[in-house]
Chains A and B, each alone.
Chain A
Amino acid sequence: MAEIKVCSPAELADGAVRIVTVKNLEIAVIKHDGKYFAYHNHCPHQGGPACEGVRMPQVIDELDENGRLIGHAYDKDDIHIVCPWHGYEFHLNDGVNVSDKRIRLKKFDVIERSDGVFLSV
């Protein structure tokens, strides 16, 4: 295991994505709501840059007690990484694909210290 310094503690704005490339490995470090997440920037679908698109919350269809559709909502506690090439979605928390649990983005550890934010590879 080695550490790569990604940034100093306050350097990245919330919502920022920094792509760290070592040899052929691209890792995306995402800062979301003050927390850091790091994933292999490679979509298992057709190899797109999975983390370079938008992030969207889980969409919910709201039903009443009789099963009638009464509206839509977002679940802001379940943010998705949306691959920009075709829209495959992955849970920000663990990188698991929203539609098929067998597919996932490889996760990397992010270490926050007073001297900076580091990626463990």
Chain B
Amino acid sequence: MNIMNKMDGSDVKMRDVSHQHYETTQALEHAAQQAIERRYENFLIVDIDSHHYENEAWPEIVEYITDPVLRHDAGHQGPAKPGMGVGYGSYQELNGRIIRYRGRKIEKTPPVPHRDITLMRRWMDAMGTDIACLFPTPMLNLSLSPDVAIQTGLAWAYNSWLCERILADEPRIKSMLYLPFLDPEACIKTVEHFAEKKGVIGFMVTSTHQRSVFQNGYIRLYKMLEERGLPLAFHSATGGEPGLRLFNKFFGVHALGFCWNNMLYLTNWLINGMPERFPKLKTIWIESGLAWIPFLMQRLDNEYMMRSSEVPLLKRKPSEYIREMYFSSQPMEMVDNRKSLELTFELINAKTQLLYASDFPHWDMDLPSTIYDLPFIDEAAKRNILGGNAQRIFNLEPIFSPRKLARREAAKAKG
């Protein structure tokens, strides 16, 4: 219901909250207000880490599985049963406290375009995001399957479906495609086949693979990406890490797991001299927040001074290489730590290396205002982090949200 009264000449509006229906646009109305107040229409915002729930389109994805037996099994089992890919449940939705998880299940969308495109546009337009890089959710744990053929088969089907059904139809949605990292040859095939597809801006390794990035089998893959100028992203995830099984609460799994996996992969990448072997290959470390990076810089520099003989490919201190890598911002640690956050920005050279990410719709999403409202960086740095850096490293053509373009037009008309 909507009741209208007057107070001091202003309308008083009333609205009753209902959980019987859900609409992303309404749920993010406050984000839309932030976008207006901060005048996001004046610059490009690129979100380099957002997600969908590809399991909701599972019957469509199954159709893209080429192996007939796997196609039958996958159609029968669904994506989330043990053995098919996803090993563990998670507590992302805080046991019902984050209502957009169940809201999404009842949210209505028109028959066209694809439901995922409609849902993406709704949150992107609300937040003031122009371009978003889309990643899967359950498939981040696909590597937990003990069967390599399941991983490669499902990854190929997912990537084909994503390119054809989503990326081809909405130029504001991009992806760094999932690499079936258990099988280096399949990774190479994936790059060869998909690199030129519309909306593909790089490739991504999830850190649940329990594979060492330095193995010679991967070298050709890195070379191919470097030659094509396509970034390699490492997206953290938690499944499969034996130490994390000691936790009884997602609190611990999440707080440590996401950082630990990126620390592990980045350290291995570095101490095996990959930045020297592939100096033009851009690496992006996603979804671990920022607090772990200064720790790792200090820790690795300290080791390096004593043990350089073990890492002869390195010509400089580890922190110097790290400073040339790229990092996504979310979930940015912002509780009572202004000084350390400011120092972190300095240490990682955030102005050019940091990339805004929301992780929407996941529970710990960050709005663009987490960057825009920072008191210690100037307007140019804010715009770089929110979009300029991503535009540069992915060579993106700027495509603005229609809502922002309309606001610009309205401002122009007003003079």
Which A residues lie at the B interface, using CB under 8 A?
Answer: 2, 4-6, 16-24, 28, 42, 46-49, 51-54, 56, 82, 84-87, 121
Contact = CB atoms under 8 A, between A and B. Distances in A.
Interface residues of B, number: 31
B27 interface: yes
Contacts of B100: 84
Contacts of B94: 87
Interface of B: 5, 7-8, 10-17, 19, 27, 29-31, 33-34, 94, 96-100, 363-367, 369-370
A2 B8 CA distance: 9
A87 B98 contact: yes
B126 to A, nearest CB: 12
Given A5-B5, A52-B17, A21 B30 contact: no
B99 A21 contact: no
A47 B35 CA distance: 12
Contacts of A22: 7, 10-13
7 contacts: A2-B7, A4-B7, A18-B17, A49-B27, A49-B29, A54-B19, A54-B99
B363 A42 contact: no
A54 B96 contact: yes
A19 B15 CA distance: 5
Contacts of A17: 16-17
Given A2-B7, A49-B29, A87-B363, A20 B17 contact: no
Given A47-B30, A87-B97, A18 B369 contact: no
A21 B13 contact: yes
B10 A23 contact: yes
B128 to A, nearest CB: 13
Contact of B14 (A19, A46, A52): A19
A42 B27 contact: no
Given A5-B5, A18-B17, A52-B17, A86 B98 contact: yes
Contact of B366 (A6, A24, A46, A87): A46
Nearest to A5: B5
